[in-house]
Structure 1
Amino acid sequence: MITYIDSSLFLKLLFDEQGTSQSQMLWDSDPVLISSRLLRIEARATLARGKLDGRITTQKSKIIVQTFDNLWARLTVVEISEQVAESACEIAESTRLRSLDAIHLASAVAVNAEMFGSSDAKLCRAASELGFAVFNPEAN
């Protein structure tokens, strides 16, 4: 099964929080995992904020970056092409999603994903409306 995952789900693999075990089970079930290059930016920005805010130590940051790199290597990456950008505009206009969420959903559409994984309830609803099976680790 081709499964698209957004940043909110991916971050649960890096930080122990609600939905982490469910996200790990999805990851370990060995689907074809796809995400947008946007995920890399969002995840690294989240890590940087945690470090700058003092919530993540330098040592912990190094471990998280190594884990991130190992996980990232397993993903098939969708580039933010002109087609994805235009699709994201249409999705944003019809669903009221914010821009980055619309890019994630447009990326999933572009690769014909069968399942959409996210812990964002609004994004999951929009994905469901577009015909995706949805995996929300906070609801499953």
Structure 2
Amino acid sequence: MQKKKASADELIALILAGIEEVKGQNITLLDLREIENTVCDYFIICDGTSNTHVNAIVGSIQKTVSKATKDKPWHVEGQENAEWVLMDYVNVVVHLFQKQIREYYDIEGLWGDAKFTTVESSINQ
């Protein structure tokens, strides 16, 4: 059986579903397609409340994406301390932070030219 390559929109929807499954917070989608020399088309950024929560979000995203597409992230980095975990799905890169680490690195500020979409969670927080 050949694995189906997910479109960027499908991949984003699956990643967002994985984040929401375990109550990831402050989800932002950055569209980088209009910016020259970017490493990918989209960033998804969210935060968790602890290293355990951040790792739970990583696991949920991997499970949700893999179940639907048989696709795995090309690279995952930062799970050891889980303050900032990067999941690279090639054209979509996910940044999962603990809140204070996200504020410190301010990825959104670094990519100020990107189109921002705040994802409203369907989960009441």
TM-score (ref. length: structure 1): 0.27
Which has more radius of gyration?
A: 1
TM-score (ref. length: structure 2): 0.29
Q: Which has the higher helix share?
A: 1
